[in-house]
Structure 1
Amino acid sequence: MQSDQSQPAPHQDFLRCLDRNYICFHVQQDADEVFLSILNLIQQQMSDKALAQEIHSLYKVTVETYLQCLECTYIETGTSFLLSLPMHISESHDSLEDCVRFFFKLQELRDGDKCYCEKCGEKKPFKQGFKLISLPPVLCLHLKRFRNSHGYTRKLHYKVTFPETLNISEILTAEALSERYVQSDSQYSLCAVIVHSGDAMFGHYTAYVRHKDQSWYYANDSYVRQVSWKEVQNTYGGSQREDTAYMLLYRRTPEGKQQEWSSG
């Protein structure tokens, strides 16, 4: 996937490269899976490992895996890395902020979901989840609009609103932050929206991209046109709308640029 040339590779060459690595675009693909596959291929195939790691780090969210016994308060933690955050959507989670809070909310495991507690020596009810350690320069959020039930996959058309600017520190509670949480600028600006049109079995992906001059553009294969933020908001979903936001990419906003971005 690497070239000695410093100029960007033509997109047809890039697509052929993906095809050679078994990412075929003549069949239905999941945008989030393709995104993760490309990052993994970069990690595996680039000879410049430092650069490959730097690219990887652009999207890497560091989280703490957290398990706590609800009877003896025994705690077990670990560290994990995510390149995109999977957002569970439902009728009760109708905003991106709700989805982020739900992702970092600790869940109780009881009855058949109990975990073995080393201190108690038997299975006990546990509290489980993720706590945030650090955020990346580019935050990728995957709205999980496809759900499988009894062997049948369907698309969820629930409305999920998302803002142009997002401040993670204002969304999360102290419980959602690890003791190892790295304080950093948590203000982000939306820079791209990947949109899925169609249903679970057949569809098409397009994108809305924010230019550095703050203008929004719509890209559908080779067709590109300038659009308004209001048109981007039409991808929130709801009322069985086919064109729904599927992936959201937010870029960390330098403190001095925050006002400039928010006025775009």
Structure 2
Amino acid sequence: MECPHLNSSVCTSIDYSGFPNGSPSSWCCSVCRSNKSPWVCLTCLSVHCGRYVNGHAKKHYEDSQSPAAGGQKRCDKQQSQHLVCMDCISYSTFCYRCDDFVVNDTRLGQVQKVREHLQSLENAPLTADRTLKRKLLESSSPNSKLLKDNGGASTLCATGLRNLGNTCFMNAILQSLRSLVEEFRKTLCSLWQGNPTAFSPDSLFYVVWKIMPSFRGYQQQDAHEFMRYLLDHLHRELQGNRNGAKTPAAPQNGSSTVVTSIFGGVLQNEVNCLVCGTESRKYDPFLDLSLDIPSQFRHKRTKDQEPGPTCTLLDCLRSFTDLEELDETEFYMCHKCKKKQKSTKKFWVQKLPKVLCLHLKRFHWTSYLRNKVDTYVEFPLRDLDMRGYLLEPENSLRGGCLYDLAAVVVHHGSGVGSGHYTAYGRQEGRWYHFNDSTVTPTEEETVVKAKAYILFYTERNDTASSEMDTKL
């Protein structure tokens, strides 16, 4: 939320020498000496523990608002201070008067300055050996689970993201985008610095709150919806359209951006009237394809039943592109017959994107509930051939239709409003599992067993079609 108290509560001339020694995440409460959940007051820079420890940060605020000794009422200026504090671990800002997290800043940008200073203090011990942490031993096995630096300590060339409160949907998407696109990698370059301390994406999260009101708060959200909102807003920002007006999410009339040049493809929607045979064609831009899991694979089997055939990603793609007859609620308005008629519909891919994002529709409405389809869908790690779904496959080179897997988003749990999101991502031939703050190397055998929710495939370079790993 936009807090109106920052300018009066946040100290305009912060003396950083007043901060305790050591890393902010390990600072101790000045009252109980607990180092769990430290918060720093942005008025006086005193450190206290959070409300779920002993609550001394809140008590510090309450004491500042109570009458002074001798029964004298505090002046307005005193009552407007000590309202705002910052979490020394996630660097999120909270106002006790508003009783909510804060997304704005003072006129002088003091909140961001404090945040950056705390981050620099936290990362100071890591700066000296950061280069060593990212250097791999040439003798390391490609299947090695941990990367060794010259000092022999086990470390990872990846960084986790702190969960700010049911923000795993955002973390999973950001880690997947990091695995995919150079432009996103530059923006989120800190995710591959190999810091053992998880990076906190609170600044980005608060920007998301500003531009995407539906994602405000700390309830669980849908990762696919967040990805689409993020890409659409990024597309509009890159176009220079900051007034919120909706623009097409695919290049039209020279409106292409880095988003559409990477994720943008084109579908041909072909509808045929079954009465007069009139054919209608429409071209639809897309940033991702949402695929149904065919109904024959959705049935849950009991322990006594024999296992049925395994659903594959190709089954989902065929279901998406197969010819289908529209039901009565979707009858096509035939311009020749001048009325709605029975018709068939078929999708063709006219243009493939560089990054093919495939969303498996695991959540379906039944009556008043949104249930999850928990069916395992088999997917290839490499050599996904999209040539058979093209409108004009003869005009496409085979190498330009082959895709290799770069990232997978997985939903764990039973409902869209609950559960947990994690992601698998590939970097320099190695696979990693991203579970918020925790990053662990993993094997291909583990990745292919995941019940994927979103799959990201990268187009194979013609010049490097023999390579298994496409560098982004």
TM score, norm. by length of structure 2:
0.48
Q: Deviations over 1:54-96 (max 9, x none)?
A: 2222111201121111232101111111111001013535110
Deviations 1:163-214 (A, max 9, x none): 0120111x43xxxx436996250100000000101111311111000112x1
Aligned-residue CA RMSD (Å): 2.6
Partner of 2:312: 95
Does the CA contact (< 8 Å) of 2:239 and 2:257 recur in 1?
A: no
Distance 2:468 2:208 in 1: 34
Q: Does 1:167 align with 2:385?
A: yes
The residue number in structure 1 matching 2:345 is 128
**Alpha-carbon contact 1:168-1:186 (below 8 Å) kept:** yes
Q: State the match for 2:368 in structure 1.
A: 151
1:196–1:205: 8 Å Cα contact kept in structure 2? yes
Task: Classify the secondary structure of the residue corresponding to 2:465.
Answer: helix
The question of 1:211 aligning with 2:424 is answered: no
Superposition deviation, residue 129 in structure 1: 2.8
1:8 and 2:187 correspond = yes
Instruction: Choose which of 229, 245, 252 in structure 2 pairs with 1:37.
Output: 229
- C-alpha contact (below 8 Å) 2:410/2:454 kept by paired residues: yes
Aligned to 1:187: 402
Q: Which amino acid aligns with 1:105?
A: D
* Counterpart among 64, 85, 89 of residue 268 in structure 2: 64
- Paired with 1:18 and 1:181, the residues of 2 have a C-alpha distance of 43
Secondary structure, counterpart of 2:187 in structure 1: coil
Whose radius of gyration is greater, 1 or 2? 2
Match of 1:248 among 431, 448, 455: 455
Aligned length: 244
On the 8 A contact 1:109/1:127 being kept in 2, the answer is yes
The equivalent of 1:196 in structure 2 is 411
Contact persistence 1:132–1:181 (CA under 8 A): no
Residue 239 (structure 1) aligns with: none
TM-score if structure 1 supplies the norm length?
Answer: 0.83
CA contact (8 A) 1:209 1:218 kept: yes
Q: Which amino acid aligns with 1:12?
A: D
Determine if contact 1:133/1:180 at 8 Å carries over to the other structure. no
CA distance in 1, matches of 2:348, 2:394: 8
Separation in structure 2 between the aligned mates of residue 130 and residue 35 of structure 1, nearest angstrom: 23
The answer to whether the Cα contact below 8 Å between 2:238 and 2:257 also exists between their aligned partners in 1 is no
Q: Report the equivalent of 2:322.
A: 105
- How far apart are the structure 2 equivalents of 1:48 and 1:248? 29
- Structure 1 consecutive aligned stretches of length 4 or more whose deviation exceeds 4 Å: 47-52, 110-113, 179-182
**Where is the strand percentage greater, Structure 1 or Structure 2?**
1
Q: Higher mean Cα deviation, 105-114 or 86-95?
A: 105-114
Partner of 2:283: 79
Amino acid aligned to 1:168: M
Gaps of 5+ in 2: 1-184, 191-200, 242-253, 298-310
Provide the identity percentage.
Answer: 29
Q: Distance in 2 between matches of 1:34 and 1:178?
A: 30
Contact 2:359/2:455 (CA < 8 Å) preserved in 1? Answer: yes
**Which one-letter code corresponds to 2:386 in the other structure?**
I
- Read off the aligned partner of 2:391 and give its amino acid letter: S
The question of whether the paired residues in 2 share the 8 Å contact of 1:167 and 1:188 is answered with yes
The equivalent residue for 2:464 is: 257
2:419 and 2:376 map into 1 onto residues whose CA distance is: 19
> 2:266 is aligned with what amino acid?
T
